[in-house]
Structure 1
Amino acid sequence: MNNEFDFAALSKSWQQQPVAAATVPTAADLTQARQRQRQQWLLLAGEWLGAAAMAGTALWLVTSMQDWLSYIAAVFLLIGVLMSLYVSWHVHRPLLAYDNWSSSGVLAFRLRSCQLSLLYYRYNQLACALLVLFVVVLWGLWFWQPALVPAAMLKFYSLIALPLCLYGIYLLQQRIGNKQQEIAPLQALLQDFQSETV
């Protein structure tokens, strides 16, 4: 969820507009916001497909394998399904439903988009942390009952999934830091813009 934005250029552009509460932005002003909404639709569709795949896999594990490992994996998958539904409702829906395209509305959209990006990154960090927890559970089961955990599964999650999740948590933390730095200038710019239009 990228939000690269030139705050100085935006401020200069909007300071030159007439200060009316219902100023209509140009097509150029709307381009980024409209593109952002299209990206949200793609993310939403991808997350729904992922949630459907996780739900199907959890159902298959519970009905076909019926052992402790399958039940534990199914629980983690169902948590992933619930998280995907929660994210699509609380992160994507507000941006898809947004329709205030006045000049201040476009800026408010950018601020809301940035705030929701922060939330989205934190949800993804939590998903990575849950996968790390799943690997820890696998190792615990392997120490307790080695025959219960297939060696190939343990190797895959330990050597591939675990390092990728840890690296993902690190990258997401960097993005969270960047978004937190973007929010303050956007809030100040929106406050200045709204005070000028009053």
Structure 2
Amino acid sequence: MADNFDFAALAKSWQQQPVAQETPPSAADLAQASQRQREQKLLMYAEWFGAVIMAIAAVWLLVDLPGWLGTISALFLALGALSTTYISWQVHRPILAYDNWSSGGLLGFRRKTCQLSLRYYRYTQLSCVALMLFTLTLWLLHLWQLDDTPLMMLLFYSLIVSPACVFGIYRLQQKVRQKTAELAHLSALAEEFS
């Protein structure tokens, strides 16, 4: 086969091909995106409400339970309230503020929500690790006899909360793998689209 293509003519012919016009997204696509934004808003408000409850509980523990146990518990709750508020704002705000509803924009929205879901799963895993550290701290307080840690509290965090956290971390890791694969697919689609 001869290698004598006229690349200039081929390029000119290619540029004269009719370009398919971008079709606007369907009403079903827009309804799904709108529903996702409503769900994110409700989730954000619920997380903020939980953060307020944690902050109130932290103040109550400082006042009602003097000593190491009250101070450490209040510290963990206060840090939990602050991190919940910050993470909630960082994860949900970009989804709530999104407003490009063209076909490419809708693909970008799906990609952005996938990225933020990944971030949310990782933050939740860190929260589980923090609860396990709190359990360890309770045991250290008990073993060093720095404070009178109730046995029921130790058993609750050791036998219920910590195993639930380990299981939660495992399940979230499975979701992270799924979202990572979905994000790779959406990123490939976005590159083809642009």
TM-score, reference length from structure 1: 0.85
2:38 counterpart of 1:35: no
CA deviations over 1:31-82 (Å, ceiling 9, x no partner)? 2211111110121011011100000000000112111101001111111111
Q: 2:21 aligns with which of 8, 19, 24?
A: 19
In 2, distance between residues paired with 1:86 and 1:147?
A: 32
Match in the other structure for 1:142? 142
Letter of the 1:70 partner, please give it: G
Partner of 2:181: 181
Which residue in the other structure is 2:121 paired with?
A: 121
In structure 2, the residue matched to 1:66 is 66
Q: Secondary structure of 1:148's partner?
A: coil
Distance 1:165 1:179 in 2: 20
CA deviation vs aligned residue, 1:128-156 (integer Å, no higher than 9, x gap)? 00000000011111111186100111111
Q: Distance in 2 between matches of 1:44 and 1:89?
A: 7
**Quick check: 2:69–2:147 contact (8 Å CA) kept in 1?**
no
* Matched residue type, 2:64: S
Q: What is the CA deviation profile of residues 163-190 of structure 1, one whole-angstrom value per residue up to 9, with x for unaligned ones? A: 1011101111111111111111101101
* Count of matched residue positions in the alignment of Structure 1 and Structure 2: 176
Runs of 4+ residues deviating >4 angstroms: none
**One-letter amino acid of the counterpart of residue 112, structure 2:** R
- Residue of structure 2 equivalent to 1:10: none
Q: Which has the larger radius of gyration?
A: 2
**Alpha-carbon distance between aligned partners in 1 of 2:168 and 2:154, rounded to the nearest angstrom:** 20
Matched, 1:79 2:79: yes
Identity of aligned residues (%): 53
Say if 2:55 and 2:78, in contact at 8 Å, map to a contact too: yes
SS at match of 1:25: coil
TM-align CA RMSD:
1.4
Please state how far the C-alpha of 1:112 moved relative to its aligned partner.
Answer: 0.2
Supply the distance in 1 between the matched residues of 2:187 and 2:21 (Cα, whole angstroms).
Answer: 18
Q: Relative contact order: is structure 1 or structure 2 higher (C-alpha 8 Å, sep ≥ 6)?
A: 1
Unpaired runs of 5+ residues, structure 2, are 1-18
Q: TM-score, normalised by structure 2?
A: 0.87
